[in-house]
C-alpha cells in the first residue's frame, strides 16, 4: 500500500466578516502517493477553493494540510511559493502559457524557476516530453500558433517538467471541444501510469472511472461521496 502524500485535517475556508459563509467545511481526508483523484461537484461547491488551499495558493481559515509531511498551512507566502515551484505542478482551465515564448521554452520554465541549468541535455529531455504528449511537431510554435488542445497539452508538459510530487488540474478541459478533452484525459492517464506522480483533477465531465481511480464529490463545501474503484 502506498503511503499518504497529502493529509488534510479539518480544513475550513470562511469568507465574509459580518455574514460568514463557510465555502469549505471541516474537510478531513488523505491522498495516497501515486494516486489519481477526480474532484467533482456542482459549480460553487468549493472545488477550486479546496485545490487552492491544499497547494497554498490561498490561506485556510482553519485546519491543517500536510504534503510529504510538510505543514503547508503554517508556511508563509514565500515558503509556500518556494514549495510550489519545487514540488507542485499546476494546470488550469486557461493554459497560462507565456505568449512571447514558444512551446518548448514554456515547457522549460519550471527548470528556470527552480534555478536549474537549462542546457542541451535539458532541452532534449523537454523535446522528448513534448513528443510523449503528442507535440513533437509543434514544439517551436508559439501559443497562438497552436490549437486549444495543443496549448493545454503544452501546459501539462510544463507541469510535469519540474518533476513535481503532485499535479493539480482545475477543469483542464473546460475550454476544449469534446475530442480535444478526450485527448487531454487520455494523456493524463498515460502520464499517471508512466510517472511517479500523484494527480488531482477537478472536472465537470463524466469520468469513465478506471481501476484505482478515486472520485471525491463536493457539495456545499463538504465531501459527500468518496469512492475508490
Ligand atoms: N474570494 C471570494 N470571496 C467570497 N466568496 C468566494 C470567493 N471565492 C469563492 N467564493 C465562493 O466560494 C464558493 C466555492 O467557490 P469555488 O471553490 O470557486 O467553487 P467551484 O470551483 O466548485 O466552482 C462559491 O460559493 C464562491 O462564490
Ligand atoms: Mg472552480
CA 64 / ligand 2 centre spacing (Å): 21
Element (H, E) at 21: strand 21-32
Beta strands in 113-209 (DSSP E): 166-170, 198-202
The pTM (predicted TM-score) of the whole model is 0.95
pLDDT in tens, 122-168: 999 999 999 999 999 999 999 999 999 999 999 999 999 999 999 99
Atom of ligand 1 nearest to the CA of 21: 5
Q: What are phi and psi of 166, to 5 degrees?
A: -140, 135
Residue nearest to atom 7 of ligand 1 (CA): 15
CA 73 / ligand 1 centre spacing (Å): 19
pLDDT value, residue 204: 80
Ligand nearest to the CA of 93: 2
Residue nearest to atom 1 of ligand 1 (CA): 15
Q: How far is CA 127 from the centre of its chain?
A: 22
CA 46 / ligand 1 centre spacing (Å): 6
pLDDT value, residue 205: 75
pLDDT value, residue 1: 65
Determine the Cα–Cα distance for residues 108 and 161; give it in Å rounded to an integer: 7
Q: Ligand 1 pocket: which residues have CB below 6 Å?
A: 15, 23, 41, 43-49
| Residue among 22, 27, 49 to mutate when testing ligand 1 (max atoms within 8 A of CB) | 49
Q: Is there a contact between 89 and 167 (Cβ–Cβ < 8 Å)? A: yes
Residue nearest to atom 2 of ligand 1 (CA): 15
Determine the Cα–Cα distance for residues 159 and 143; give it in Å rounded to an integer: 16
| Residue among 17, 24, 44 to mutate when testing ligand 1 (max atoms within 8 A of CB) | 44
Segments making up each domain of the chain, as ranges: 4-228
pLDDT in tens, 5-42: 999 999 999 998 899 999 999 999 999 999 999 999 99
Whether residue 56 is predicted with pLDDT greater than 80 in this model: the reply is: yes
Determine the Cα–Cα distance for residues 10 and 28; give it in Å rounded to an integer: 5
CATH annotation of 4-228: 3.40.50.300
In 3D space, the residue among 214, 205, 105, 92 whose CA is nearest the CA of residue 156 turns out to be: 92
CA 93 / ligand 2 centre spacing (Å): 9
Q: For the CA atoms of 4, 228, 205, 60, what is the dihedral angle to 10 degrees?
A: -40
Let me know the angle formed at the C-alpha of 99 by 95 and 100, rounded to the nearest 5 degrees. 150
Amino acid at each position: 500500500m502506498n503511503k499518504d502524500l497529502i493529509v488534510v485535517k479539518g480544513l475550513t475556508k470562511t469568507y465574509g466578516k459580518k455574514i460568514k459563509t463557510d465555502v469549505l467545511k471541516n474537510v478531513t481526508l488523505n491522498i495516497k502517493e501515486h494516486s489519481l483523484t477526480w474532484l467533482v461537484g456542482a459549480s460553487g461547491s468549493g472545488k477550486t477553493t479546496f485545490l487552492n488551499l491544499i497547494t497554498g495558493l490561498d490561506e485556510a481559515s482553519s485546519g491543517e494540510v500536510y504534503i510529504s509531511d510538510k505543514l503547508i498551512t503554517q508556511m508563509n507566502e514565500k515558503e509556500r511559493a518556494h514549495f510550489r515551484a519545487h514540488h507542485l505542478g499546476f494546470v488550469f482551465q486557461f493554459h497560462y502559457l507565456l505568449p512571447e515564448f514558444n512551446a518548448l521554452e514554456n515547457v522549460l520554465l519550471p527548470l528556470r524557476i527552480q534555478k536549474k541549468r537549462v542546457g542541451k541535455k535539458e532541452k532534449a529531455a523537454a523535446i522528448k516530453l513534448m513528443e510523449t504528449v503528442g507535440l513533437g511537431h509543434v514544439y517551436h510554435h508559439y501559443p497562438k500558433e497552436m490549437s486549444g488542445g495543443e496549448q493545454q497539452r503544452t501546459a501539462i508538459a510544463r507541469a510535469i517538467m519540474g518533476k513535481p510530487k503532485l499535479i493539480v488540474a482545475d477543469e483542464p478541459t473546460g475550454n476544449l471541444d469534446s475530442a480535444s478533452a478526450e485527448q487531454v484525459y487520455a494523456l493524463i492517464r498515460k502520464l499517471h501510469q508512466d510517472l511517479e506522480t500523484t494527480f488531482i483533477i477537478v472536472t465537470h465531465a463524466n469520468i469513465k472511472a478506471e481501476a484505482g481511480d478515486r472520485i471525491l464529490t463536493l457539495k456545499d463545501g463538504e465531501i459527500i461521496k468518496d469512492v475508490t474503484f
